[in-house]
Chains A and B, each alone.
Chain A
Amino acid sequence: MTAETVEAAASRADRQGRAGAVGDGIFRALTFFFALLVLLILGGVIISLIAGAWPAFRAFGPAFVISEVWNPVTGKFGALAPIYGTLVTSAIAMLIGIPVAFGVAVFITEISPVWLKRPLATMIELLAAIPSIIYGIWGLFVFAPFVQQYIQPGIIDTLGNIPGIGALFAGPPLGIGVLTAGFILAIMVLPFISAIMRDVFETVPPMLKESAYGLGATRSEVVWQVVLPFTRVGVVGGVMLGLGRALGETMAVTFVIGNAHRISASILQPGTTISASLANEFTEAFGDLYRSSLIALGFILFVITFIVLAIAKVMLLRLQKQAGG
């Protein structure tokens, strides 16, 4: 190899520099394009849902949201029953799921012996990854028959007779229904919420907890007066993420809710949720108005979950800022 002259080397470096600048521009534009694509996907989702739902919204107007009728034969559709089912099943899931998930997270971070911490945390994270259809078929084949035979008759005989709230627990024991669906949802979101709560609890500086212990605080006092106040926003964010998941969950619910478009006073009776209606009816929906009404349901679900997830995200960001300084 012969030695380059100084000029030749300089011009080579210059060429390479320019090639680098061109490559830089291209690569930057490429990554920018794909980042933009993420925005376009969300934009596309919103626009396509509105476009698809438009015929239904035009035909029924705002009454769509408050009407309980769902009659494909006469072409009358209203979203109230699925919206009600979605909210009630998610509420049941949260009522059961949050306290249990909180207990699990407290156990892992504060009580558990060190050797058990990692296996338990890993197990919970693995369980959070199990697809929801698994919980769904377990609910259908194992849990619903069990509930029908052993749990529901007892509930109907005791709680069902209390004046006032008795109507909530009336009717024949069917196994499937709103309560069963809510319970399956609770089991499904449980690992999810407790994994987030555990992560959030770990952000508490050990110094804070040790100071409290040093002053003679008991474990429960440390949890209530040090850990929870420090992580409040994060806990709420985690709960909202779990709620977002419960609201939009399809398969775990579809198997056990019974798909009945009506609002029963009793939570033991079948009902439906937005996602269950979509899963059960969409491919068989005949006529444009029927299909459009289902898409309109999807749009409503999207709006509800978007709001919940946005709140969750803002909460978790606040915790991050707090932990970062």
Chain B
Amino acid sequence: MGIYARRRFVNALVMSLSVAATAFGVVWLVLVLWTLLYQGFSAIGPVLFTQMTPPPGSSGGLLNAIFGSLVMTVAATLIGTPTGMLAGTFLAEYSRGGRFGEIVRFINDILLSAPSIIVGLFVYEIMVVPMGHFSAWAGAVALAIIVIPVVVRTTEDMLNLVPNTLREAASALGTPRWKVIVMVSYRAAVQGMLTGVMLAVARIAGETAPLLFTALNNQFWSTNLNAPIANLPVVIFQFAMSPYADWQLLAWGGALLITITVLFLNIGARLLASWSTFKP
């Protein structure tokens, strides 16, 4: 075989392997989604949203779990967003090139991809043990710790996209630094920062591991944030592992709900990002 034929052959081989890899990857992912839709839709009905999680062997809904997940997600977002935004502001506006900022940025990136089950252990140690019981608050704090690094990262990135000339123009008018940040930088970067918050919410919407040792689970309706609370991910975990067909069906229903929520949040975040003033 001549050198040209060999090169052409190698090229064809590598390219077809690449196409095959793509087909292979896409097939599995489509299979996962298809099963999810197929099984999930047979579980979704009005009952799912109006009844509580049932005892073993009978049918019911996921109302208390949906409520618990919503409450903890909202609480975690309310705790995590301001914290993350202010820390991100420090990194982007005050510490450009500073040593302390470098360290915070590095640590934040580690936190961003640290195993979420470790966060659960941490919150167990600092909240569940001292309080003596599992609680929705502990779950919310665990989720907030997952929100914070995402928001820090996007806030910093988005503020860095704001052109310095805008800040200089405001400063030249005698505006104090904090006003420049709040009235100019934030306004210019607001869509991007909101995108970060939406991505963070999408991330905690399906997060299971940190809730196992913090919010635990609750078979009944509860609005007490100081007590264990039902939540979709842990209910899915428990029900899917059970031998009861009714419970397994509910697990699929819950899984579909979570996936739809996550996909909507992600698509929403993308749309929002495409409208933002300054793009990466």
Tell whether A248 pairs with B118 under 8 Å between CB atoms, given A38-B148, A51-B125, A137-B255: yes
A266 to B103, CA, bound (A): 43
Closest to A146 in B: B31
A255 to B242, CA, bound (A): 11
**Extra inter-chain contacts (14) besides given A38-B108, A278-B209, CB under 8 Å:** A20-B175, A31-B86, A34-B86, A45-B114, A102-B21, A103-B18, A108-B22, A131-B259, A140-B240, A220-B10, A251-B208, A279-B237, A301-B115, A305-B115
Count of chain B residues near A, Cβ 8 A: 96
Task: Give chain B residues whose Cβ lies under 8 Å from the Cβ of A103.
Answer: 17-22, 24-25
B178/A28 in contact, CB under 8 A: yes
Task: Pick 22 A–B contacts, CB within 8 A, sort by A.
Answer: A31-B93, A32-B94, A35-B95, A38-B152, A41-B148, A48-B121, A107-B22, A110-B18, A133-B208, A133-B237, A137-B236, A137-B252, A218-B7, A218-B10, A218-B11, A248-B117, A255-B241, A275-B117, A275-B209, A278-B117, A298-B117, A302-B118
Within 8 A of B (CB), among A243-280: 244-245, 247-251, 254-255, 275, 278-279
Task: Tell me the smallest distance from the CB of A39 to a CB of chain B, in Å.
Answer: 6
Question: Which B residues form the contact surface with A (CB < 8 A)?
Answer: 7-8, 10-11, 13-15, 17-22, 24-26, 28-29, 31-32, 35-36, 39, 82-84, 86-87, 89-91, 93-95, 100-101, 103-104, 106-111, 113-122, 124-126, 145, 148-149, 152, 174-179, 181-182, 199, 202-203, 205-209, 212-213, 216, 233, 236-237, 240-241, 248, 251-252, 255, 258-259, 262-263, 266-267, 270
Q: Looking at the complex, which one of B178, B236, B263 makes contact with A23 (CB distance below 8 Å)?
A: B178
Q: Which of A108, A134, A278 has the most CB of B within 10 A?
A: A134
Q: Looking at the complex, which one of A129, A136, A278 makes contact with B262 (CB distance below 8 Å)?
A: A129
A42/B251 in contact, CB under 8 A: no
Tell whether A250 pairs with B117 under 8 Å between CB atoms, given A42-B110, A100-B21, A283-B212: yes
**Chain A, 83-118, contact with B by CB distance < 8 Å: what is the 0/1 string?**
000000000000000011111101110110000000
Q: Determine, out of A3-11, A164-172, A187-195, the stretch whose residues face the partner at the interface.
A: A187-195
B7/A23 in contact, CB under 8 A: no
B32/A282 in contact, CB under 8 A: no
B262/A48 in contact, CB under 8 A: no
A247 to B115, CA, bound (A): 8
Q: Looking at the complex, which one of B87, B103, B106 makes contact with A37 (CB distance below 8 Å)?
A: B87
**Chain A, 8-25, contact with B by CB distance < 8 Å: what is the 0/1 string?**
000001000101110110
Closest to B107 in A: A42
Task: Give chain A residues whose Cβ lies under 8 Å from the Cβ of B19.
Answer: 103, 107, 111
Q: How would you classify the secondary structure of chain B's contact residues: helix, strand, loop or mixed?
A: helix
Task: Tell me the smallest distance from the CB of A60 to a CB of chain B, in Å.
Answer: 19
Tell whether A282 pairs with B212 under 8 Å between CB atoms, given A138-B35, A247-B115: yes
B113/A241 in contact, CB under 8 A: yes
Question: Is A286 at the interface (CB under 8 A from chain B)?
Answer: no
Task: Give chain A residues whose Cβ lies under 8 Å from the Cβ of B263.
Answer: 126, 129-130
A44 to B14, CA, bound (A): 48
A275 to B117, CA, bound (A): 7
Tell whether A45 pairs with B119 under 8 Å between CB atoms, given A102-B21, A131-B207: yes
**Chain A, 61-97, contact with B by CB distance < 8 Å: what is the 0/1 string?**
0000000000000000000000000000000000000
Question: Is A57 at the interface (CB under 8 A from chain B)?
Answer: no
A191/B15 in contact, CB under 8 A: no
Task: Give chain A residues whose Cβ lies under 8 Å from the Cβ of B36.
Answer: 134, 138
Tell whether A282 pairs with B213 under 8 Å between CB atoms, given A104-B25, A133-B208, A310-B110: yes
Within 8 A of B (CB), among A220-256: 220-221, 223-224, 241, 244-245, 247-251, 254-255
A133/B233 in contact, CB under 8 A: yes
A188 to B35, CA, bound (A): 16
Tell whether A45 pairs with B15 under 8 Å between CB atoms, given A102-B21, A133-B258, A134-B32: no
Question: Is A313 at the interface (CB under 8 A from chain B)?
Answer: yes
Closest to A191 in B: B29
A245 to B182, CA, bound (A): 36
Task: Give chain A residues whose Cβ lies under 8 Å from the Cβ of B145.
Answer: 41
Within 8 A of B (CB), among A110-156: 110-111, 120, 122-123, 125-127, 129-138, 140-142
